[in-house]
Structure 1
Amino acid sequence: MSEDLEDFEVFLENEFNAQRFGNDLIKATNTDDSTAELDIDTPIKKINYDIGEIDTRIEKLINDNPLQILDQISRTKASRTTVRDGLKPSLDYLDMSYKRLQEVLEPYEKAQKLQNVLSKVHQTSILLRDALIYIHLVNSIKVINESNQQLNSQMALELASLHSQLESGINQSANLKSLRLIKKFDIDVVGPSSKELLNYLSTELNRVCSDTNNLNANRENVVVLLKALHSFSLQEFANTVHRIVLSHVQASVQALIKTINFVKNFPPAMEIAVKRGYTISFVQSLLRDIKSDNTNFLNEYTSQMKPKPLTPREFYWKQVATSFKKDLDISYKRGGPVGKALQRSREFIEQTIRKTMVNSTDNADYEADMQTMLNSVSVLSTEMH
């Protein structure tokens, strides 16, 4: 049978394309480059010949195998009847179920589309609501900044609260900053106001925390300033307090280092360090007294200290002692008249530390800080090389 179809295999291919076959046939029968006329008759004759050939073969196949063909036709008919009668109820039921499913699916799909629309409308509504709140807060900031009244601690506290609410709004609605109006407000109003507020708070706190007298005279004002800075930014709050402590450290270290070559000036220099240490102790007490949720400002400050959480007082005396010890060790180990004078004055220096450190705080817990300072001069107990 397969040999009978060898001439027609191309027609049995799955990828058979009549248009492509026709083009190939025309090309195959038009190979004479000397003429510009297209021969269509020859390919048509070829196709008609093939049709006639196939009809002849079909007729011969029927004549040679009439019984087998009739039997196959009968079997095919019977099979189709059996399949149709057996599957028809199931197919009808399936068709009915599908139609009923469509009755459910169509409303569901519509509901899904409506739900998506509703969700987007809801998101837009929330975004617009957040934008209105943001704009209201920005306008409140503008009113304060554009008033003729000079910025004070209470105004700073109000501004800090407004900036904190703005930051909270941005954090809760990430898409808020994508709005062009919000971007403009951020550049024109929020950014400049934020910088001005931070500069004011930092400058004022540095000024009033410069000594204990200032702190005593401005205690309530300092509390308000600290609350404002804390509300504005916990990180900026910790950084500002840290810079205040460092400014006192630097002044104390400078005073103590100058006494290495003039030991007789050590007592007044130590008095300076103790006085500044007392100021830091006062600041620490204020931080401890200001409550914040379930903790206080002091704990929140120490939590920001890296790598080790230290209170302002601990950090102050540790830094003063470490810096002073570094220069003292170098001068002592160098020897000479300075080294000898320092060694002879060891007891004098230690007694001065013990005497003055009592005044470094109002509490009786000064001994740890005193030991820190005594450790800074421990090199004087060793022999010079």
Structure 2
Amino acid sequence: MTTDGSQNNELEDFEAYLEPDFEAANFANSLLISTNGHDNNLLDLQTPVKKLKYDLVELDKRMKLISSTNYESLTSNFTQIEQYKTILQDRINPQLVTINKPFDKIKREVIEPYEDATRLNNALKNIHQTLELLRTSSFFIFIIQQLEELQVGGGGGDGSTSSPSGDVVRTSRLYSQLMNLYQSVTTPSGGIKSDLSGNNNSNVMSIRFIRDYRATAITRKQSLLHEFSRVVNHETSRATSLNLKNLKLYHHLQALYILDPHEFCQIFDKSTIQRSLTTSSNQLSKALQSPRNFTAIMTEVQQSNTIYFNKLDEVLAKWNLPHDNSNKADQSYLSFILSHYGTDSLHLLFWQKLAQQLKRNIVATMARGGPIAKNLKVYSQGLKTSIEDKFTNVKIKQDILDAFSMIEYK
């Protein structure tokens, strides 16, 4: 049986966990500050975790001691408390003083140890909450530390691509993982998710360092997207840059896809198809002003874009997407992009869009009338014959001839 002194000392050293207003987040913050100080640039998580683990072991020992020391009282006497109360109140009033003595003994040896054990159990739960909070925080801190190291070392964490191009892939993976962690503990509106299971993952946002870094991560992610877009746009601007040895393009395509697959498709479209479409459409639009030169300019457009899209297809077919949970194993960029557009060929898609633009330009030219419209009517049959001879793909040929049919229609 425990003595009075030992009973009073059961909770010694654990008062902090038993405060009525105890909060795991505040306690974790104070524990980290007391261990690391305010000016320490390196965060030490091991020391506070060791302290909490020590407290867990000590509490477990004390609970076992209480249970083993008071085993008989806990099993045999506790069930008799209510019965003793009834006897005290209804039958033994004349002997109340005598009866109070064993009751006090029961209270001292059974009830009070039980209450102490309950309080110790509550303290144990609070320690577990703090450990879970620190564990979740360590995931955030580990990724953030790596990102900061990459930034200091010129690894592209600030949008710079002066480092080895392979670092941009690593940087993108880290930012993607970090944003997924933030998403897992916050609602779409930015609030903290409620967790009915009692898990304290969401409380990690109560740690100021992690909460404040979210805005920094979002800003840097947008900076990276802008930089990746600039590099991809530059590296795909010339057919000569489209080769398997262009690792700068390869790594930036990987990094862009990892960081944001949706932005990847938009940037790719703007850097390749839309740019080629704008250039070629401008050439053909000017050629409409002088139908005599239209065939030569169409030939130039056809040859340059055939070379460009053949080289683009070659590298995209040989390069595979980075592995993740959303794409199939060893899926090529070409397969992914064609699936995105819902087409069998980028070259075919380009000519389909170019024919539509050419059709709109012809309609506008004929609507304005004048000498240019008259010249187009004069040369229309010759232009159609030239198209028949130059294009072997039936679909492309038909789309362009359909555009020229607007000359006769007007």
1:204 alignment counterpart: 231
1:291 alignment counterpart: 320
2:287 is paired with a residue whose SS is coil
Q: Is the 8 A contact 2:359 2:404 kept in 1?
A: yes
Across the aligned residues of Structure 1 and Structure 2, the Cα RMSD in angstroms comes to 3.9
Task: After TM superposition, list the pairs within 5 Å mapping 1:1-385 onto structure 2.
Answer: 113=122, 116-117=125-126, 120-145=129-154, 150-174=162-186, 175=202, 176-187=204-215, 190-191=217-218, 193-216=220-243, 219-244=246-271, 245-274=273-302, 275-276=304-305, 278-292=307-321, 293-294=327-328, 295-302=331-338, 304=340, 312-332=346-366, 335-357=369-391, 366-380=393-407, 382-384=408-410
Q: Is the 8 A contact 1:289 1:296 kept in 2?
A: yes
Tell me the distance in 1 between the aligned counterparts of 2:343 and 2:118.
Answer: 59
The residue identity in structure 2 corresponding to 1:296 is: S
Judged with a 3 Å threshold, the aligned counterparts in structure 2 of structure 1 residues 240 and 123 are, in CA distance, closer, same or farther, namely same
1:7 alignment counterpart: none
Tell me the distance in 1 between the aligned counterparts of 2:335 and 2:115.
Answer: 61
Judged with a 3 Å threshold, the aligned counterparts in structure 2 of structure 1 residues 114 and 311 are, in CA distance, closer, same or farther, namely farther
Per-residue CA distance 1:183-208 (angstroms, 9 max, x = gap): 444455x4554344323322222122
1:157 is paired with a residue whose SS is helix
2:51 alignment counterpart: none
Per-residue CA distance 1:256-276 (angstroms, 9 max, x = gap): 011112012213332343213
Q: Is the 8 A contact 2:281 2:357 kept in 1?
A: yes
Judged with a 3 Å threshold, the aligned counterparts in structure 2 of structure 1 residues 271 and 216 are, in CA distance, closer, same or farther, namely farther
Judged with a 3 Å threshold, the aligned counterparts in structure 2 of structure 1 residues 111 and 220 are, in CA distance, closer, same or farther, namely same
Identify unmatched segments of 5+ residues in structure 2.
1-78, 87-109, 187-201, 322-326
Q: Is the 8 A contact 1:211 1:276 kept in 2?
A: no
1:71 alignment counterpart: none
Aligned length: 279
**What is the Cα deviation at residue 249 of structure 1?**
0.9
Q: Is the 8 A contact 2:244 2:315 kept in 1?
A: no
Identity of aligned residues (%): 16
| TM-score of the two chains, using structure 2 as the length reference | 0.56
1:68 alignment counterpart: none
Judged with a 3 Å threshold, the aligned counterparts in structure 2 of structure 1 residues 297 and 149 are, in CA distance, closer, same or farther, namely closer
1:145 is paired with a residue whose SS is coil
Per-residue CA distance 1:1-44 (angstroms, 9 max, x = gap): xxxxxxxxxxxxxxxxxxxxxxxxxxxxxxxxxxxxxxxxxxxx
**What is the Cα deviation at residue 119 of structure 1?**
5.1
Q: Is the 8 A contact 1:252 1:269 kept in 2?
A: no
Judged with a 3 Å threshold, the aligned counterparts in structure 2 of structure 1 residues 93 and 116 are, in CA distance, closer, same or farther, namely closer
2:151 is paired with a residue whose SS is helix
The residue identity in structure 2 corresponding to 1:179 is: I
Tell me the distance in 2 between the aligned counterparts of 1:357 and 1:211.
Answer: 24
Tell me the distance in 1 between the aligned counterparts of 2:146 and 2:404.
Answer: 56
**What is the Cα deviation at residue 168 of structure 1?**
3.0
The residue identity in structure 2 corresponding to 1:346 is: S
Tell me the distance in 2 between the aligned counterparts of 1:119 and 1:309.
Answer: 55
2:54 alignment counterpart: none
Q: Is the 8 A contact 2:161 2:168 kept in 1?
A: no
Q: Which structure has greater helix proportion?
A: 1
Query: Which has the larger displacement, 134-143 or 203-212?
Result: 134-143
Q: Is the 8 A contact 1:153 1:221 kept in 2?
A: yes
**What is the Cα deviation at residue 369 of structure 1?**
2.9
Judged with a 3 Å threshold, the aligned counterparts in structure 2 of structure 1 residues 264 and 134 are, in CA distance, closer, same or farther, namely same
**What is the Cα deviation at residue 178 of structure 1?**
4.7
Per-residue CA distance 1:113-158 (angstroms, 9 max, x = gap): 4675355234313322223223322223223327999245333223
